[in-house]
Structure 1
Amino acid sequence: MPDIKLITENLVEELIPGIQRASGIYILTSFVMESGVRLLAPHLKEAALRGAEVKLLAGDYLFVTQPEALRALIRIHPAIEVRLWRSRGTSFHPKAYLFDYENGQGLFIVGSSNLSQSAFRMGIEWNLAVNAQLEPYTFQMALDKFMHQFNHENTESLNDVTLAIYEDEYRENRRKYPELVRSITEMEETELMLPSKPAREKALDKPDAANDLQPRKAQEQALEALVQTREEGYDRAMVVMATGLGKTYLAGFFARQFNRVLFVAHREEILTQAARTFQHVMPERSVGLYNGTEKETDPSSIFASIYTLGMKKHRERFAADAFDLIVIDEFHHAAAQSYQAILNCFRPRFLLGITATPDRMDGKDVYAICDGNVAYQVNFLEAIKRGWLSPFQYYGIYDDTDYGQITWLGNRYDEEELLAVQLQESTAAKIYAAWDKHRQTRTIAFCSSITQADFLADYFKRQRIAAVSLHSRTKELTRDEAIQRLADGSLQVIFTVDLFNEGVDIPAVDTLLFVRPTESLTVFTQQVGRGLRLHDTKSTCHVIDLIGNYRNADVKLSLFQDRNEEEKGSRQPILPIVPDTCLLELEVGVIYLLEELARKRQPRREKLRSAYFDLKRELGRRPSYLELHLNGREESKAYRQEFLSYVGFLHWAEELNEFEVEAFTSCEWWLQEAERTDMRKSYKMVVLLAMLDRGIEEWLTPIRPSETAAFFHDYLTSKEYRKRIDFSDGETRGLWNYNAEKVSKLIAKMPMTKWSGSSKGRIAFDGEQFEVQLRVENEHQALVHEWTRQIAEYRLHYHFERRDKQS
């Protein structure tokens, strides 16, 4: 075909050859119709079978996309990744077909055609097909932008669970608005907040001089911990440092010990700042970017976008052992699969994960990444106590908006209904009054939408305040200009949505204003961190937060509660205890509201049910017990406390089918016993794993200590953290070199004897043989074996995680 071609009919005749030739197929479309899927399905399946990478992102805007079409898509081939853009009322109507060939060749088609037979064959459509060799920069930019949108927080993986939810919404929407499809042509411009590309020369300027930088106190302690970690034999670790303590500089200092470094992040701002940081720390070394527009492979330190390196063809440009050190910045749910692909592709000498806010606030998920090794951890409250971050004064302002009258869409409020409340002069006046009473000199205000940010900026300007609404559509000044004006005092307030969650440093900010319902504790943590950096112009940061009866309003205050000071199993207090240098002040209306929420809060069981189904939706299947612990919103131990076992919860939640209910009823006592038996050490569950390892039909037969000895010893010595925590006292240290007789005596003396003694006769050990007094019907054996295995794996993980934090 020619380098540029206008296609006004039969687009499918261009798409099929592109699919047949491409090694990477990336489709971005507003709507998907079953008729269009039928045309492309056999060709997409063939591409997947030959190893091509196939990713498709569809939109849910106005619920035009047919559930039947989405179901057909996910049935084509398991290797094809399909995600659904959750527009939540915001217009979403891109149409792009990107085909990446070998040797830098490719084709991209952008125009008016959605994925439907009408658009492909019969409709009046205009599409422009461009040879990638003619516009290589634009093609690479398109691929990069596709990956950003594919992994955007507004997307969710399409699976049976998420599809069922969408199908219910689709039907309800069609029932309420039968004429809605006619409004497609009235769509507004999308409000995606994709980060703008910083200037390359700014990111990679050489430092003026080879600064002799020295680590600050937190970085120094973290470096010492990492050195010790390597000496103990670990090849990976996680460091959790509060925003403002210099985790990127820490990575730069640590990287001095390695020759080639790969730094991976999800935002361009983070990449360019990290590149600049590494140059300050090691000015003698070369740095380069590997992202949508730059593809440098030779520098000693490469800073790569997850959205680019998440593509197979880019990973394959590097040898598996190309990097001595890989640094992974913040992990995010949407891009988790891309991160895992990188971890599986490369074999560095050391893997370092750095984060300020683990997705779950206690960092429990890092065990899957870093072998349970959190080398160093300090949260922002501890950092404030040590004088490393600025103290804060938190003012909780009562918001009398009745959020109970606003539709909840599963993870956020209906934007149109929310704006109807927010875009009122009376609401703006209350916000202004609260800000004027508690403000200092430089403010970042976090809003829930661009529309709200524009409205409030306009209102503040009318009060003679130097304010600006800063987002992807702002024309009056750039983000860098706004930051500079805020720092020099010529600008008082920046209203924004999510631009300053991470990757941007403005140490002079001394006031934070929150005028949005808090939906994510992680995002709230990142935003609070924007104001806590030390600076000569401030002694404290004022946090002004409007609190109404929105969902999870009481959750945000848990950020200010030091978890180390909470008693095990105790309830979260209404007023958290903050460091002595800080202040937490709530208006009377807020206190009454929080007390009322505590009384009317979802019953504990309903909260656990909600968290479980959220995770099931994310995974597309029933989560295992360990997955519930690692990824669930609620504490996993609450399921055991409330229902005596995880399977007991599943039974209560009506998640078990008739066959599973029969199995559960027959072995309920055993599942509760396995869940609740005391564990000072891991030994009982290691013995149970050894039993399970014998197979479905044999695991319940009596077992001798000698039969478990080899498995027991290998399990506890194969991982450094297991050996350190549970196999390093005076008696067991001498068993590091395997001695079958001595290990067998240890097993008989401890786990077998102690478990039989505490089981009220249901577990027997006569000194020779250990036996669980459980009889399982043949048809239930596999299921009970699986349930038991999940309990053992979960309890072992939880045990080592908890003990590691205590050590």
Structure 2
Amino acid sequence: MEEEDYRSDEIVEAMERETAIPEVAITPRFAQLEALEGLDRTLEEGYEKAMVVMATGLGKTYLAGFLAKRFKRVLFVAHREEILHQAKASFSRILPDRSFGLYNGVHKEADADCIFASIYTLGMRRHRESFSTDAFDLIVVDEFHHAAAVSYRSVMDYFEPKFMLGITATPDRMDGKDVFALCDGNVAYQIHFLEAIRRGWLSPFRYFGVYDSTDYSQIRWLGSHYDEEQLAALQLRDSMALRIYEAWGEHKITRTIAFCSSIRQADYLADYFQERGVSTVSLHSGTIGMTRTEAIEGLSKGNLDIIFTVDLFNEGVDIPSVDTLLFVRPTESLTVFTQQVGRGLRLSENKSHCHIIDLIGNYRNADLKMRLFEEKDETSSSGKVAVTAALPGECELKLDIQVIDLLAEISRKKLPRREYLLGAYRQLKHELGRTPTYLELHLHGRANSREYASEFGSYIGFLHWAHELTEREQGLFQQYEAWLKDVEKTAMAKSYKMIVLLAMLERGAREWMKVLTPSEAAPFFHQYLTGKEYRKRIDFSDQKAKRLWSYNEAGVSDLIAEMPMSKWSGARGSMTTFENGVFALRIEASARPEDEETLYQWTKDICLYRLHYHFERRGKRRSI
């Protein structure tokens, strides 16, 4: 990977002036205190990795600085220069006795106590390997939702710190399950931005969904975004600019950031507003005549009314006094929309609310942004998602009648459920170049993985429906369909059933269906649950289980007999039995070795998926 085109020293110095803060004592507050308590528990339990999910404006970088007090040498990794400089300034306030250095395309200050490194530089092997694998006691990965990228993974796989912390406001790639797996299923602390507003830690908002009559259906869709030229042809019109100007005039408060689709749109709107007496600037990489720092100062002091930008303020830039956000672009990513909304929610003196003015047309994913205002709690045993729609008391959601009708129409026109699942599967299969495993579908697919079992009985049932099985596999599926559904759908308040099944699978394709006794399962069962701290914390921490932390064969055997074996076999329609102290499957082995191997792989695929999903879901619930 080529190193990023870094800014000149003059711009770097400007950013450092921007982030400079008077030297006053600083202590943890609000969400930082709760997050530090969660990290304390995590460290006490022996975790080596954790993630903290905190909304923009709650002080994630300062949190990392407070945690860094407990470690001697620290590496802070980010993908934007401004994030590195702001983090360096924040850490210096908390750790005045430490030395600080940058490691990027311009600076290689490798001997400092705390190093702030660009992922574009550290992602290069020669730079990464200039450090020993144990060079750092703590590694902080900022904007952790990017961590599934190859460059981040190379850094995370190379270094061996005592502890690694991922911090983010948006943990998901759309809903970010792959990122969760990178921290061993451990979310030390998590708080939704709506909850932070309820507690008074962020500013309440008023959201205005303004109807945009532009017909986006005529613009070519390129898989993840609209054709830029065709989009610009529709956006760069006085009629649309007038609609935007009127919406802003009706709903604005004072200081505004406007998010545009392109530099051309930002320039066009800035000129249009200026002609009407509004003080504006179009701020982007090609801006001439005003620096980024001057624009931010101008907006903060009220000398500027609006900054039109493209993606400059998605991450790493804080202007607390901003009280109006203007969206004049199609929303293509919930993650980006979440980051942009966060720009206006910081608390500031004389700021009672943030007004969010969003022009909504018939573009793809127009309904996606409404998910931002839902709080999800994946806690039911069925795996279904409960949604809390109530906004904090001081917040308002106001949609034009045409917007309400438009969103309803978009919902009606969404692909049928089965076709959507098939499309998500095919996209991932194309990316991988092969059939994805069930766990890969969960980690990297765009659809909710539980819907495959809900709709088709099992993931293998979906593959059968989608004509992805060979003729031999189709017959095998029909023969063992009831068993596959049982593995897929048996209730799991704890992970115990799947651990017993995994113990059987560990014996290999030729032996896995043989009967199993509780005492035979006990060593593997105990080792699996105590081998990772998060498993022990989630599923082996009630009073009965705690007595078995130090391995006791009789006690563990009794627990296995009483819970997973008895409960699974006693469930209605179960394909298992537990009689006279022996656990068995109510299926017969195939006479053909290739069928044995296929059924073994199918069963293991579902088992590993269900174990991962269980700990992921339970880990999220415990962290809230």
Superposition TM-score, scaled by structure 2 size: 0.94
The CA deviation string for residues 647-671 of structure 1, in whole angstroms up to 9 with x for no partner, is: 2222223333444333323322211
Higher relative contact order (CA 8 A, sep 6+): 2
After superposition, the CA RMSD in angstroms is 2.3
TM-aligned CA distance change 1:460 to 1:196, over 3 Å: farther
1:598 aligns with 2:411: yes
Higher mean C-alpha displacement, 268-277 vs 764-773: 764-773
Alpha-carbon offset, residue 429 of structure 1: 1.0
Give the 5 Å matches for 1:689-700: 689-700=502-513
Aligned to 1:104: none
Higher mean C-alpha displacement, 531-540 vs 663-672: 663-672
* CA–CA separation in structure 2 for the residues paired with 1:714 and 1:753: 21
Aligned partners of 2:488 and 2:610 also within 8 Å: yes
The CA deviation string for residues 81-123 of structure 1, in whole angstroms up to 9 with x for no partner, is: xxxxxxxxxxxxxxxxxxxxxxxxxxxxxxxxxxxxxxxxxxx
> Which of 276, 286, 293 in structure 1 is aligned with 2:89?
276
Secondary structure of the corresponding residue to residue 274 of structure 1: helix
Higher mean C-alpha displacement, 367-376 vs 303-312: 367-376
* CA–CA separation in structure 2 for the residues paired with 1:208 and 1:789: 55
Aligned to 2:230: 417
1:802 aligns with 2:617: yes
Aligned to 1:789: 604
Alpha-carbon offset, residue 699 of structure 1: 0.8
Aligned-partner residue type, residue 729 of structure 1: D
TM-aligned CA distance change 1:416 to 1:207, over 3 Å: closer
Aligned to 1:178: none
Aligned to 2:136: 323
> Which of 193, 196, 213 in structure 2 is aligned with 1:400?
213
TM-aligned CA distance change 1:572 to 1:678, over 3 Å: closer
The CA deviation string for residues 774-801 of structure 1, in whole angstroms up to 9 with x for no partner, is: 2334222222212211211111122222
Aligned-partner residue type, residue 297 of structure 2: Q
Aligned to 1:429: 242
Alpha-carbon offset, residue 210 of structure 1: 5.0
Alpha-carbon offset, residue 504 of structure 1: 0.8
Q: What 5-or-longer segments of structure 1 have no aligned partner?
A: 1-54, 56-142, 149-193
TM-aligned CA distance change 1:659 to 1:307, over 3 Å: farther
Secondary structure of the corresponding residue to residue 269 of structure 2: helix
Aligned to 2:489: 676
1:445 aligns with 2:258: yes
TM-aligned CA distance change 1:572 to 1:709, over 3 Å: closer
Aligned to 1:391: 204
Alpha-carbon offset, residue 318 of structure 1: 1.0
* CA–CA separation in structure 2 for the residues paired with 1:387 and 1:209: 25
- The number of aligned residues is 617
Aligned to 1:739: 552
Aligned-partner residue type, residue 221 of structure 2: W
Higher mean C-alpha displacement, 322-331 vs 338-347: 338-347
Aligned to 2:3: 144
* CA–CA separation in structure 1 for the residues paired with 2:608 and 2:145: 25
Superposition TM-score, scaled by structure 1 size: 0.73
Give the 5 Å matches for 1:703-714: 703-714=516-527
The CA deviation string for residues 357-403 of structure 1, in whole angstroms up to 9 with x for no partner, is: 11246664344222221111112111111111111000001111222
* CA–CA separation in structure 1 for the residues paired with 2:574 and 2:292: 70
1:245 aligns with 2:58: yes
* CA–CA separation in structure 2 for the residues paired with 1:196 and 1:768: 73
Aligned to 2:126: 313
> Which of 262, 273, 286 in structure 1 is aligned with 2:99?
286
* CA–CA separation in structure 2 for the residues paired with 1:497 and 1:210: 33
Aligned to 2:343: 530
Higher mean C-alpha displacement, 350-359 vs 339-348: 339-348
Higher mean C-alpha displacement, 778-787 vs 681-690: 778-787
Higher mean C-alpha displacement, 244-253 vs 640-649: 640-649
* CA–CA separation in structure 2 for the residues paired with 1:424 and 1:458: 12
The CA deviation string for residues 723-778 of structure 1, in whole angstroms up to 9 with x for no partner, is: 22222223222211212233222222221222122253632222232222223342
1:588 aligns with 2:401: yes
Secondary structure of the corresponding residue to residue 42 of structure 2: helix
Aligned partners of 1:195 and 1:267 also within 8 Å: no
Aligned-partner residue type, residue 613 of structure 1: R
TM-aligned CA distance change 1:572 to 1:516, over 3 Å: farther
* CA–CA separation in structure 2 for the residues paired with 1:426 and 1:460: 13
* CA–CA separation in structure 2 for the residues paired with 1:507 and 1:615: 40
Aligned partners of 2:174 and 2:446 also within 8 Å: no
> Which of 560, 563, 575 in structure 2 is aligned with 1:750?
563
Aligned to 2:465: 652
1:632 aligns with 2:491: no
Aligned partners of 2:458 and 2:485 also within 8 Å: yes
1:375 aligns with 2:188: yes
Higher mean C-alpha displacement, 557-566 vs 793-802: 557-566
TM-aligned CA distance change 1:203 to 1:447, over 3 Å: closer
The CA deviation string for residues 433-461 of structure 1, in whole angstroms up to 9 with x for no partner, is: 11111011111111111121122112112
TM-aligned CA distance change 1:274 to 1:334, over 3 Å: closer
* CA–CA separation in structure 2 for the residues paired with 1:288 and 1:484: 27
Aligned partners of 1:329 and 1:353 also within 8 Å: yes
Aligned-partner residue type, residue 3 of structure 2: D
Secondary structure of the corresponding residue to residue 498 of structure 2: helix
TM-aligned CA distance change 1:298 to 1:431, over 3 Å: same
Alpha-carbon offset, residue 692 of structure 1: 0.6
Alpha-carbon offset, residue 335 of structure 1: 6.5
> Which of 277, 296, 299 in structure 1 is aligned with 2:109?
296
Aligned-partner residue type, residue 337 of structure 2: F
**Identity, % of aligned positions:** 60
TM-aligned CA distance change 1:269 to 1:209, over 3 Å: closer
TM-aligned CA distance change 1:282 to 1:759, over 3 Å: same
Give the 5 Å matches for 1:76-155: 143-145=2-4
> Which of 655, 662, 676 in structure 1 is aligned with 2:475?
662
TM-aligned CA distance change 1:367 to 1:430, over 3 Å: closer
TM-aligned CA distance change 1:244 to 1:642, over 3 Å: same
Aligned partners of 1:211 and 1:281 also within 8 Å: no
Alpha-carbon offset, residue 552 of structure 1: 1.2
TM-aligned CA distance change 1:760 to 1:225, over 3 Å: closer
TM-aligned CA distance change 1:287 to 1:199, over 3 Å: farther
